[in-house]
Amino acid sequence: MHCTNFTTLMIKRILLSVSLFMSLVAHAQNGTPSIYSFYGIGEVTFRGSVENRSMGGVAVFTDSIHINLQNPASYGGLKFTSFSVAATNNKTRFQTNTINDEAGRTSIDYLAFAIPVTKKFGAGIGLMPFTSVGYKIQTSASETNPANRRYSGSGGLNRVFFSLAYNFSENLSFGTDFQYNFGEIETSTLATIPGVQLGTRELSLSALSGFTVNTGLMYQRKVGKKNRLYTSLTYSPSTSLKLDNSRFIATVLITANAETVDSETEVNVADSRLKMPQRFTFGAGFGEERHWLIGTEIALTSNNGFANRFSDIQNVDYENGAKISLGGYYIPKYNAFSGYFNRVTYRVGARFERTGLVVNNKDIEDRAVTFGFGLPLRGTFSNINLGCEIGKRGTTAAGLVQERYTNISISLSLNDRWFVKRKYD
């Protein structure tokens, strides 16, 4: 058994990326500036791989070189050992009826590794931030409210997964993700009165942990001489996370250069369990393999029983959510010997989502258009994927905030054949 020089280089890059990713997770990177990450356990930032995200989130087909993170059945279609890492730069503009503001973040999206074990089995492992908290809000004193208040939050929920897939036949595959969730969320409120040097700070902490599962099916069949019909199903049952909660009330001395805790008292708050919603997706697509595809996907989320970390958060409810995605790709000629842009993958899509979050009796909706490119690396099966997502979340009605955002994503997908027995030494 031999590994190529490229394989050795790939292993080194995997180890380096794992170390970087674990370092970022340990320091609780903030992957969102969204005001709405205040609620629940933060904003769900994971929307799949850059390749699928560039098509509005459509992930209905298997691919021999790209890791499909949304349906574990896809690992059965891999022909190459694959490693992928991605990052996103976010720019968000906030708008209310009276003010405008801007914020931005850069974060690592995921790190994943997958391997075709046999012709029947495929497996994968990975790590990703699943939700993120990253808001900062400041309000000024008024006639009805004499205090200035500053609200901030950080942290989120991370997910480690191990996936197995089995091919029942050339057309049908089944897979399961076994997921362990962990993370910490910290939220803080600082209240000060103009002219008074002492302020009051409330600090709330939650350590989250728990297991979840995601199962998937993929089926494809040939239609005519060249085209294929693709279908995809996934189901995540409702499970619960354990929350170890704590809260501290402190008196803070405020000077021109610093804020110093003068005294701090721990307040007894109960630990809790948070019910994670069940989720069902169905998708279908049609196209010619390695040439073009158009597909659509519907995701339904049951938020019954979902809640905030603490029971004293008001004016928020949760209802069932739904997302509709539409997208596809086009490759002029994947095996062209000349003309680099003939081998580029062009992707486009759109999505509309009712998040299930209701604030001040207003549904929080999220919609976006997406596009991207898959750029092959010469002499290899690897590629660089670029994606752009331009969207809008929320509303200015009922005293709420509308967020207009742009996400620029990049992923590196390294692919090679491992454990190939050479005929000649």
Mean pLDDT, rounded, for 362-378: 96
Question: Picking from 114-123, 157-166, 300-309, which range would have the lowest pLDDT averaged per residue?
Answer: 300-309
In angstroms, rounded to a whole number, what is the distance separating the alpha carbons of residues 408 and 31?
Answer: 13
Report which residue type is found at 270: A
Q: Which two tokens stand for residue 49?
A: 């791989």
| pLDDT higher than threshold 50 for residue 134 | yes
How big is the CA angle at 161 (ends 7 and 324), to the nearest 5 degrees? 105
Going by the DSSP 8-state scheme, the letter that residue 420 receives in this structure is B
Query: Could you read off the pLDDT of 204-220 as tens digits, one per residue?
Result: 999 999 999 999 999 99
Share of the chain above pLDDT 70, in %: 90
Q: State the residue for tokens 């409702």.
A: 238
Q: Which two tokens stand for residue 273?
A: 């369990």
In angstroms, how far is CA 279 from the centroid of its own chain? 15
DSSP string, 211-240: EEEEEEEEEEEEETTTEEEEEEEEEE--EE
Report which residue type is found at 406: T
Confidence of residue 163 (pLDDT cuts 50, 70, 90): very high
Q: Which two tokens stand for residue 87?
A: 């990052």
Query: Could you read off the pLDDT of 382-406 as tens digits, one per residue?
Result: 999 999 999 999 999 988 999 999 9
Mean pLDDT, rounded, for 176-203: 92
Q: Which of 138-142, 147-151, 263-267, 366-370 has the highest mean pLDDT?
A: 366-370
Mean pLDDT, rounded, for 249-257: 86
Contact between 246 and 266 under an 8 Å Cβ cutoff? The reply is yes
The predicted pLDDT at position 203 comes to: 94
Compare 236 and 269 and report the one with higher pLDDT.
236
Mean pLDDT, rounded, for 127-138: 91
Mean pLDDT, rounded, for 143-153: 84
Contact between 88 and 391 under an 8 Å Cβ cutoff? The reply is no
The length of the chain in residues reads 425
| pLDDT higher than threshold 60 for residue 25 | no
Which stretch of DSSP H or E encloses residue 189? strand 172-192
Nearest to 118 by CA among 72, 69, 76, 171: 76
Q: State the residue for tokens 């992707």.
A: 347
Confidence of residue 97 (pLDDT cuts 50, 70, 90): confident
In angstroms, rounded to a whole number, what is the distance separating the alpha carbons of residues 139 and 148?
Answer: 6
Report which residue type is found at 20: L
The predicted pLDDT at position 152 comes to: 92
Q: What's the half-sphere exposure (Cβ side, CA atoms, 13 Å) at 168? A: 10
Confidence of residue 26 (pLDDT cuts 50, 70, 90): very low
Compare 34 and 10 and report the one with higher pLDDT.
34
The predicted pLDDT at position 305 comes to: 72
Report which residue type is found at 292: W
Query: Could you read off the pLDDT of 64-88 as tens digits, one per residue?
Result: 788 999 999 999 888 889 999 999 9
Average pLDDT across the chain, whole number = 88
| pLDDT higher than threshold 90 for residue 365 | yes
Instruction: Provide Rg for the chain, Cα atoms.
Output: 23
Question: Which residues are registered as beta bridge partners of 95?
Answer: 100, 402
DSSP reduced 3-state for 116: strand
The predicted pLDDT at position 127 comes to: 93
| pLDDT higher than threshold 50 for residue 414 | yes
Q: Report pTM.
A: 0.88
Query: Could you read off the pLDDT of 331-364 as tens digits, one per residue?
Result: 999 888 888 999 999 999 999 999 999 999 999 9
Contact between 316 and 357 under an 8 Å Cβ cutoff? The reply is yes
Q: Which residues contact residue 245 at a Cβ distance below 8 angstroms, ignoring those fewer than 6 apart? A: 204, 205, 206, 269, 270, 271, 272, 309, 310
Going by the DSSP 8-state scheme, the letter that residue 377 receives in this structure is P
Query: Could you read off the pLDDT of 303-312 as tens digits, one per residue?
Result: 877 777 776 6
| pLDDT higher than threshold 90 for residue 12 | no
